[in-house]
Structure 1
């Protein structure tokens, strides 16, 4: 009995060490990765990196340590509680959050779930103000740093030895890829599309697939167009689960009733 307990304790410690190291590498905190954004002067600041307030030069995610730990907590929760469904991120940049989700599955020897990696791999779309008035003047599409190719994202997965058949790429604009994506159920839906358009298209196409007890994470709720899309969607679907803040930017909620918003 003691030997069994010692083995399980050691296994849990090793899993935690692996996931902690994976997070540190993906965020760039492991090596003090200098940012490339125009507002930080190229100086690594651990506080800004923890909160995702810069654009890393080499690291695979810009969402910061707080949001990565939230993602880990919610992924582990659905695994430990056997909430059915796959994981998806809509808007992946260099793929870091998706790589982390795949690493979490691997650390639990979870082979039933898939990671869906949804992105245009060509940056964000120019705004369509005639259809989505909230996006008037949006300039995300002019930032070349946000356009990361699928080949580069695949290579990032490969570097961590996490590119396999459980990773599914959905390449293209969300309006084209998400409505007919080969997804039956989701346990974690992570939105990182910045704009009203990208956010509402993902919610419209995928929310009804989130299992009871699953989670929705919105990375860009601090941006007014994204928040408007979320608030309008929740109001239209009578979604009353509380929005839980993460780090002043992102929020999440748990699906507390059957996901039947169409």
Structure 2
């Protein structure tokens, strides 16, 4: 019993410490963040790319710039992988099923990451190429201008979809609770809204970023759509099962 308590408190401490680490990285100004990822890319290239050190300085910088996107996203992935592990340790002593523990850990670790301008522009570029007729034939300048025009919509749609997924995870988390469906829905919506508010408040302290109440509304709306869709699907499945059972009983 004492051993389980030690694991629990140690996991809680490590979890809080790691959340602080993640927020400290997220709170870096854009220039510092880019500089750090470039340094990591430089070291990775020196260690794993044969002949990298023999390349001229300009070619080294060009190569590091090419792999920078992958380095940054791998760092995000690893940060949240570690966060998920700590959530798993924290939930280990809970007297619930393994499935419940996994869903709970995932739902808390799925806090959305704010999309950078560069990423949203790349998404806008791909969307335009797929759905805008004749986009690929436009001059480079006109393509960039068009992508810049739709950038706002792309970013807000990303917010909406991210929190829709978060809302679904909250719904799964609250599923086993012995409370009314209305209580579960409202709890999931308010929990998602709290995550959105914290995310926007955090952005107020980051250079080059702003926190907006409009974004909180968009995020909460996305979460609400995901939550309502989840519970609507569950209700439909439940009703079908009831009808099937009734048919079997009648026959």
Q: Where is the strand percentage greater, Structure 1 or Structure 2?
A: 1
TM-score after normalising by structure 1? 0.32
Q: Where is the helix percentage greater, Structure 1 or Structure 2?
A: 2
TM-score after normalising by structure 2? 0.33
Structure (1 or 2) with the larger CA radius of gyration: 2
Work out which structure has the larger RCO, using CA pairs closer than 8 Å and 6 or more positions apart in sequence. Answer: 2
